[in-house]
Structure 1
């Protein structure tokens, strides 16, 4: 194991004092802003709405404008960081170009931040955020004082980013627009590769895989690739390129050929337990995990693999996994409600908020809920995220969403996309109805309060209510819990 007493003195970027973020309210952008302000830079930025992250940034004396306005771009700004959501016609971006200010995207500045650290990245279609958080929790307990940037908020510390004094930098690497190719980590984890964000890859998953391979080739020869071989595309990638990749490779999963094999998985209410066989060491270890689901067991195995690889004590790893509290909006139990007074059934309703927006993620949410509460009806409020995702995965969405007992479908959260024919909420609703398993309910209301009240009066007891999606659907679930708090059960 590397020396724990190693502390980093990060050299300042010469002639860079004031850094401005366009789209500062996202977790990735806000995380980078947090690291930079703690390194001594003056930080300011803009976004369209206030949220948890902008409020946290305000506490760090970061000035935030809630409007994209050319007047916000002043001559004292030395560097502009832009979110991937920012369009070319953004007035602040145009103003920055006129002033000849250096402009970097989020991945480019992340690469600069990681330059002087031992970089650890987590890539994949699903599981990046939870795996990143699990690794951070283990390294923190091991007193390695890691730096990290995460795509979600940790329940145990309300963190989404932290500047540590140690040598490790742990972060998600985003493959959605090829931006992960800017990064140069020493260790990388691939959780899975699926049909997602293919609009950046000519709608061809093989091109996506080629870019993953290109990224893996950037890992130095003394570095390490940790990859789940339960996923077909992961397995195929490693199998076809094992002679090309000269780095250390550690495979994990339920697959019997994995270097670290997961077995004897058991679900125990909201927790799970399983065993790991680390074959090279001929060592079997029992793991208790404080969050549910096969997918989280795999995420925890990835965290175990990297922790074992760098030489951490097994007792620290086991303790960290056992006490991990989870991530907000990842199968996040918000509380318990009683039905509306006009509903005769008085059995309670368990309310869950989940960020999953891909069919595979939604399927795992449904599967996990069924395992934990087999005798309850499952109600889902689903907010589709991006027209392109509906278009590319329509068949999968129809099949997976039909697995719940009652389904409400909200309008698409466009995330800046223009509508696509036969890829909207109305069309999705019709196609699910055609399948004939359930009768989904389309909600065209825009106001959060109206949506909340419309759904609440239809809720029956002895159910699990899941708010599902990556857009702003959590605002509705928050309103429900806040406004119906008189019905909360202790």
Structure 2
């Protein structure tokens, strides 16, 4: 099946910011389809090296000359419009696609398009579905916004009718997509500048997506929050197939008997009024049970056997930087290190709860790097509440993600506020300072949580 072009000459696509996780997934997908791919970024990485190995031409800078052979240019919302490659593409009258537009372009001929959106859990749910469907020998295509340990790449292009994708709500670009099946994991406050800082606008955007004419298959909405309930009420009269999932017995699909045992998460589910027992998952925490529940419900509806689903869950080893666990000796002391991507108060609380279940009665040292000034400003008090729960907190300077500084919304502002209710709180400017501070503070048998969506991941390289 030829997804984009029926001619014998394969097009050449150029990606501005190709090293990003979403853009690189699109680039890998194109390379697997046999298209020519080039791209640029400000620095090299494991991802850009992988793309080079797959046949992409990578430039470590942005320059207008890089478009000489390109037929179209793809960009993201993070790019500024003064980018020289973007400006050159406009000047030459080239085809220019936003990342979501290009994703829609790539997948338009698949008949079973499964989209996962929501504030948290998108990558885990997408990866779980791809893994289960692969185990069921359905050979699904997928594009994922993270690195799943079970999958060779975070994108795969096949000729199966199934494709599973993440749909981005952060810039409302999911409204550019036409899909058949939809999972909305949760509806929490984040990226609120996109929605004029109004929760009604956020809910309306999800509702607009969920009620598109193309969505004729499953619609699953998770979490027991008022926002999720408002969304369900808004769309249920248009899409009566919508189903609610989570832990509440009043939901259409719910989990029960959740427990942690020997580093396994075990739970039962109630599906279509039937109790199905003994699901086992390596990922800890109630939030991951909810993620698994979404994948289970969709795959059961697609007639994948219960035995295959259960087996796939037990073999799924998770996502890079989603509660990655390392047992290590640090400064002559045996510790457990958790590396986690969480950067929203709901995600932080979920991770902290999972740590308490996995490592009960252990001292916790929480190293956290705030991500984006806007998020810190919008959720300042919620960050204080969740960060105050660890025994020791080390705050790193804010990872701005290209945002301008906002007065009163930086890591040092969090530190000053946190010090009023937490005696063991420290502030560091760099990865190196964080490592020194950990060496000073840790004791035998500590659990160290390294958390955030910025460059704090590099701290792990200094610890293990």
Using the size of structure 2 for normalisation, the TM-score is 0.96
| Cα distance in 1, alignment partners of residues 355 and 306 from structure 2 | 30
1:461 counterpart residue number: 444
| Cα distance in 1, alignment partners of residues 337 and 289 from structure 2 | 23
1:45 to 39, 42, 59: 39
Indicate if the aligned counterparts of 1:340 and 1:457 stay in contact, CA closer than 8 A.
Answer: no
Query: Per-residue deviation at 1:283?
Result: 4.4
| Cα distance in 2, alignment partners of residues 88 and 96 from structure 1 | 11
1:67 counterpart residue number: 61
| Cα distance in 2, alignment partners of residues 431 and 240 from structure 1 | 38
2:138 counterpart residue number: 144
1:241 to 211, 230, 235: 235
2:406 counterpart residue number: 420
Q: Aligned with 1:338: secondary structure?
A: strand
* Count of aligned pairs between the two proteins: 462
2:258 counterpart residue number: 265
Indicate if the aligned counterparts of 1:150 and 1:172 stay in contact, CA closer than 8 A.
Answer: yes
Indicate if the aligned counterparts of 2:211 and 2:235 stay in contact, CA closer than 8 A.
Answer: no
| Cα distance in 2, alignment partners of residues 367 and 308 from structure 1 | 29
Q: Aligned with 1:357: secondary structure?
A: coil
Query: Per-residue deviation at 1:336?
Result: 2.3
The alignment status of 1:300 with 2:292, answered yes or no, reads: yes
1:338 counterpart residue number: 329
| Cα distance in 2, alignment partners of residues 442 and 285 from structure 1 | 46
1:90 counterpart residue number: 83
Query: Per-residue deviation at 1:299?
Result: 0.5
What pairs with 1:63-462 in structure 2 (closer than 5 Å)?
63-74=57-68, 76-117=69-110, 118-220=112-214, 222-246=216-240, 248-280=241-273, 282-333=274-325, 335-341=326-332, 346=333, 348-434=334-420, 436-445=421-430, 448-462=431-445
Query: Per-residue deviation at 1:156?
Result: 2.1
Q: Aligned with 1:80: secondary structure?
A: strand
Query: Per-residue deviation at 1:476?
Result: 1.6
Indicate if the aligned counterparts of 2:3 and 2:108 stay in contact, CA closer than 8 A.
Answer: no
| Cα distance in 1, alignment partners of residues 415 and 122 from structure 2 | 30
| Cα distance in 2, alignment partners of residues 98 and 469 from structure 1 | 39
Query: Per-residue deviation at 1:262?
Result: 0.8
Question: 1:90-138: per-residue Cα shift (whole Å, max 9, x none)?
Answer: 1221122222211111100000111011210001000100000110011
Query: Per-residue deviation at 1:450?
Result: 4.7
Indicate if the aligned counterparts of 1:188 and 1:219 stay in contact, CA closer than 8 A.
Answer: no
* Alignment CA distance shift 1:396-1:142 (3 Å): same
The alignment status of 1:10 with 2:3, answered yes or no, reads: yes
Indicate if the aligned counterparts of 2:10 and 2:36 stay in contact, CA closer than 8 A.
Answer: no
Q: Aligned with 2:38: secondary structure?
A: strand
Question: 1:278-325: per-residue Cα shift (whole Å, max 9, x none)?
Answer: 125x34232111111100001100000100111111111111111111
Question: 1:21-44: per-residue Cα shift (whole Å, max 9, x none)?
Answer: 000011111011011111111100
| Cα distance in 1, alignment partners of residues 236 and 2 from structure 2 | 37
| Cα distance in 2, alignment partners of residues 163 and 319 from structure 1 | 24
Gaps of 5+ in 2: none
| Cα distance in 2, alignment partners of residues 13 and 179 from structure 1 | 27
Q: Aligned with 1:206: secondary structure?
A: helix
Gaps of 5+ in 1: 1-7, 482-490
Q: Aligned with 2:337: secondary structure?
A: strand
Query: Per-residue deviation at 1:11?
Result: 4.5
Q: Aligned with 1:312: secondary structure?
A: coil
* Alignment CA distance shift 1:453-1:155 (3 Å): same
| Cα distance in 2, alignment partners of residues 453 and 429 from structure 1 | 18
* Alignment CA distance shift 1:158-1:403 (3 Å): farther
* Alignment CA distance shift 1:90-1:319 (3 Å): same
| Cα distance in 2, alignment partners of residues 103 and 222 from structure 1 | 30
